[in-house]
Structure 1
Amino acid sequence: MKKIRAPFFMFNPKSYLYGEKLYELAKYADQLAEQYEINVFVTVPFAEIKIVNEITENIVITAQHMDVLDPGRGMGATLPESLFFAGARACVLNHAEYPLHYSVLEKTIKRAKELDMVTIVCASGYNEAKAVALLEPEIILCEPTELIGSGTVSSDDYIKETISAIKKTNQKIYVMQGAGVSTSEDIKRNLELGSDANGATSSITTAKNPSIVLKKMIEATAKYKT
């Protein structure tokens, strides 16, 4: 896994995109990652990981979930080694749409570290962010569950408090803000408030021209490189 550098950006298509539309946008994200020289994480549906890995070079291909599992029994589960073999070098855990019990989360982060995969762990509130930080993931994605997909960004207080809680626990953890991020101005605001990164989904996938929105967000992120 290449070294993570802040600021960075995560594009999370979820299940909005698949097939050729996903490939086209992944290849464009790959070009932008090279052009602007920042880490761009792209979450990819399990069935598409191998293909996206074959057509890109610069993005960090990210699995949308991973199960705590060793090779052997586990029908229908997402085996960490299988995801890594297909090309995933990071994984999202504990998303509001796929929450994990704390003990399971701890074990899954440990399995990811065994494979040198970056863990991006979601947290909704201040206390959850603080608890997740104790598990030492590389990245914590802070987003109030009620704001996901709403187009309404987190408050200044929420951003500052979650960053403070995480950094006081572990300075090495990167903090990403995700809920409601819709424009390059949202990116700018969050970074100026102390975030290391931002993530977006529906503001890109449902746009009339997703490529333009994606470029503006990555461009806005790159302006904060040191």
Structure 2
Amino acid sequence: MKKIRAPFFTVNPKSYLYGTELLVMARKADALAIEHDIDIFFTAQHVDLRLIRENTERLIVTAQHVDPITVGRGMGHILPEALIDAGVGAVFLNHAERPLPLSQLVSAVKRCKELGLYSIVCADSLLDAKAIAKLEPDVMVCEPTELIGTGKTADKEYILSTQAAIADISPETLGLQAAGISSAKDVEYVIRNGAHGTGATSGIFAAVDPMATMVEMIEAVVKGRNLIS
């Protein structure tokens, strides 16, 4: 698989936006990925993933969940092979809004590795980060659950400690710090303090102008890249 380039950005609409309106956002994000030559993960509801993939060039189209099943039985579950067929490149796992038992998480990360899907695994504490890093996912989202959607970012100590813990256990795993990101200033802050990437949901989609906010945040990633390069 192609190596993910840091710093990167994740646009994660959850269930705030879907269909045609989401595609408009995705096309803009794609244009920025091309213009600035950066990696952007763009999640979508599963029914919109193929739509996004077929109408963009550079986005890493990302599923919000996958189940560790194989072709056959699995009514109501998300088949990894089906995501591959739809052009998906990455998968979120173990988000606070879609947690997984450890056994399922282990199996899901394994299936992603088998199929060449980037795995983006969430942890909500330093202890969780240390445990999950042992699975050697491609990206770890280190966000305290209590900060999600609050507009308050993790402090510098938390960012540095989780990034160091990941690097010590799984050097190839990238750290994404995203909880509470609500402005371009927040984006610059976490990049300057060692995060390999960041992203937002409510910070973008609950903003007065979601499109303008997304653009500002992506441009802040570019600015952060230039500051640390």
Q: Could you say whether these structures have the same fold, taking a TM-score greater than 0.5 normalized by the shorter chain as the test?
A: yes
Alignment of 1:131 with 2:156, yes or no, is: no
Q: Give CA-to-partner distance per residue, 1:179-205, whole Å, 9 cap, x none.
A: 000111111111111110001001111
AA of the residue aligned to 1:178: A
1:157 alignment counterpart:
157
2:93 alignment counterpart:
93
C-alpha RMSD of the superposition: 0.9
Instruction: Tell me the SS of whatever aligns to 1:92.
Output: strand
1:209 alignment counterpart:
209
Structure 2: 5+ residue runs without aligned partners? none
AA of the residue aligned to 2:8: F
Distance 2:2 2:88 in 1: 12
User: Which deviates further from its counterpart, 163-172 or 85-94?
Assistant: 163-172
Distance 1:118 1:223 in 2: 25
Distance 2:224 2:179 in 1: 20
Q: Give CA-to-partner distance per residue, 1:2-61, whole Å, 9 cap, x none.
A: 431000000100000011110100110100100111000001110001111111111000
| TM-score normalised to structure 1 length | 0.98
2:107 alignment counterpart:
107
1:221 alignment counterpart:
221
2:174 alignment counterpart:
174
| Aligned length, in residue pairs | 226
1:38 alignment counterpart:
38
C-alpha deviation, 1:223, in angstroms:
2.1
Q: Give CA-to-partner distance per residue, 1:78-102, whole Å, 9 cap, x none.
A: 0000011111110000000011111
Distance 1:31 1:3 in 2: 21
Distance 1:130 1:160 in 2: 13
2:12 alignment counterpart:
12
User: Which deviates further from its counterpart, 204-213 or 74-83?
Assistant: 204-213
AA of the residue aligned to 1:43: T
Distance 1:40 1:92 in 2: 14
Distance 1:87 1:44 in 2: 12
After TM superposition, what 4+ stretches of structure 1 lie above 3 angstroms from structure 2? none
Q: Percent identity?
A: 46
